[in-house]
Structure 1
Amino acid sequence: MFEYCAEPKTLEGLTWLSCYLTTPKHMEFYYSFITVMALLVVAAPAALAFGFGGAMASRSHFAPVRWLGKLYTAMVRGIPDIVFFLFFVIALDQGLEWLTHQIRCPDWTEPVRQGLEFRVCPAAKVPPNNASPFVHQAYAFALAVLTFAIVFGAFAANVLKGAMDAVPRAQIETAEAYGMSPRQTFRRILVPQMWTYALPGLSNLWLILIKATPLLFLLGIQDVVYWAREMGASKSARFDYPHGDWRLYYFLALLVFYLTLTRVSEIALSRLSRRLSHGQATRAGETLRKDAA
């Protein structure tokens, strides 16, 4: 990055370190932090949407929909995350390619499944082989977001269903007595009040989601843990910036990053909890009333 970095062999001290920390590989390492944050920003609302849908399905009066909602939460919650990540991504990727293959290559005579290999026509590759690296990265990121959303959405569904059930029945009956329709009662009474009961569980899910981001590596995305291991490994004299085993320092940097992110999340969630508990007939709401008095 700097002009004086043209001859790494002649550098020493802080000058050497400044050049070492600004190599293209380190830029990719720094970019991976943005990737992790982007995943959290996109996957959390997506998981909440899946969870809300699963909770509504589990509470449905229509039996098939209720069974589907319960099956979704039970199946995903009962499968280890790493197994689901590996199976679902491969199955979804091959399913998309198989559908594209049926549409674009109807005259293909060779079997798609050949032993342990899965082969489709070149035009059915998703994304295409000649696509730019950005398209491949965006596709992998989209698969990651969908997978995280489905997995953590199942846990969120259980939390949200419990929160909906925790809203006092008297609140619902009062709304009905005032002539509100079931849809109005749901939108104006049930949903606004359930967040107070759901926030503790959703807060834990958010922290677990933060800790689960290293699973990105399983989906073909070079995340912060991958680069910390790669950059911190021993580099011999044949490299421009040789060094010993520095993985300890790189992983200490990740430790600081995740602890800082967790602490900031705890502060934000605590303030949100106080805001949602204000005026509520809960223990937290009673505490706020006593403090104000």
Structure 2
Amino acid sequence: MFEYCADLGSLEGYRWLSCYLTTGTHMQFYGSFGTVLFLLAVTAPVALLLGFGGALAARSQIAPLRWFGKIYTSMVRGVPDIIFFMFVPIALDQLFEYLRSRVYCDTSVPVRQGNEFIVCAEAKLPLSSSAEWVHDAYGMFLAILAFSIVFGAFAANVLYGAMNAVPRAQLETAEAYGMNRRQMNRRILIPQMWAYAVPGLSNLWMILIKATPLLFLLGVEDIVYWARELGGTKTAGYAYPHGDWRLYYFLAILVFYLFMTWVSERVLGRVTRRLSLGQSTLAGEAIRKAGA
């Protein structure tokens, strides 16, 4: 990065540290913070969309759809998160490769051979000839799906409870004015439910932030992966030898997550106060009394 970094033997003190912190691997470490932020930016709206669909399905008058919504929320909530984070990417990966094998491979050859799942090279995802960024993007895609499915179920449970918390009298009044079920949902239920849903969704957002280190278990080179790799002991065989510095790297990660939660608390607090204005909720009552 710097001109004086060419002669490592003459470096010491801050110069050595500045060269060490600007190596290519450290740039990947810094970039991995963006990976975490990208996961949050994509997973949150997708999970909210899945949760919204699951909550509406659980309230549906169509029995199979109602069963699906309740099974989805109950099944995911009843299984440890880490099991789903490990199961979903593997299951989806094998599903995609199985579907491709029916097109690109000899269909007379079974893909399940004993305990092994084997498909031809043309059906592999990604292809062995694909660039490295394609492999990384595919792994990230599976990780986002896993996070979205799990947190979508939690969001569905929160939104389902928020919909049930909307005063029944409001819906009955809308029905008395001649609104059908779709109109009641669009004009009364959904706008009113957010005041009840935001506290639960806020907690879910915090849990999602704390769950992002699980990317490491899914093979994604996130901040935990690079902290372990860069912080481990490096002997004289390396360009920048040092002792076990994992404490400092994980301390930097700790500060990052604390900053994320600090910012989130303030943003979500403002959203909660705005949605609670004039509402007959605990937060709404607190705001009313504070302004009285």
- TM category (shorter chain) comes to over 0.9
Which residue in 2 is equivalent to 1:149? 148
**Deviation digits for residues 137-160 of structure 1, max 9, x if unmatched?**
111111111110100111111110
* Amino acid in the other structure paired with 2:6: A
Q: Which TM-score applies when normalising by structure 2?
A: 0.97
Which residue in 2 is equivalent to 1:59? 59
Shift of 1:288: 1.7
Q: Give the aligned length.
A: 292
Distance 2:186 2:40 in 1: 27
Which residue in 1 is equivalent to 2:184? 185
Distance 1:177 1:108 in 2: 60
Shift in CA distance, 233/168, structure 1 to aligned 2, threshold 3 Å: same
Which residue in 2 is equivalent to 1:46? 46
**Is 1:117 matched with 2:91?**
no
Shift of 1:109: 4.8
Shift of 1:171: 0.9
Q: Which TM-score applies when normalising by structure 1?
A: 0.96
Task: Report SS of the residue matched to 2:240.
Answer: coil
Shift of 1:233: 0.6
Shift of 1:113: 2.4
Shift of 1:61: 1.1
Distance 1:205 1:282 in 2: 20
**Deviation digits for residues 225-261 of structure 1, max 9, x if unmatched?**
1111111111001110000111111111111000010
Which residue in 1 is equivalent to 2:206? 207
Confirm or deny: 8 A CA contact 1:9 1:240 kept in the other structure: no
Which residue in 2 is equivalent to 1:286? 285
Distance 1:115 1:66 in 2: 37
Q: Indicate the larger mover: 111-120 or 6-15.
A: 111-120
Which residue in 2 is equivalent to 1:197? 196
Q: Kindly report the root-mean-square deviation, in angstroms, between the aligned alpha carbons of the 2 structures.
A: 1.2
Residues 159-170 of structure 1 aligned to structure 2 (within 5 Å):
159-170=158-169
Residues 1-293 of structure 1 aligned to structure 2 (within 5 Å):
1-105=1-105, 107=106, 109-293=108-292
Distance 2:226 2:261 in 1: 21
After superposing on structure 2, the runs of 4+ consecutive aligned residues of structure 1 that deviate more than 4 Å are none
Distance 1:85 1:3 in 2: 44
* Amino acid in the other structure paired with 1:74: S
Distance 1:68 1:247 in 2: 45
Distance 2:109 2:185 in 1: 54
Shift of 1:125: 0.9
Q: Any unmatched runs of 5+ in structure 1? A: none
Distance 1:21 1:67 in 2: 54
Q: Any unmatched runs of 5+ in structure 2? A: none
* Amino acid in the other structure paired with 1:99: L
Distance 1:113 1:218 in 2: 25
Confirm or deny: 8 A CA contact 1:88 1:147 kept in the other structure: yes
Q: Indicate the larger mover: 172-181 or 207-216.
A: 172-181
Shift of 1:267: 0.5
Shift of 1:162: 0.4
Shift of 1:118: 2.0
Percent pairwise identity: 66
Confirm or deny: 8 A CA contact 1:232 1:246 kept in the other structure: yes
Distance 2:158 2:119 in 1: 41
Distance 2:41 2:234 in 1: 35
Task: Report SS of the residue matched to 1:199.
Answer: helix
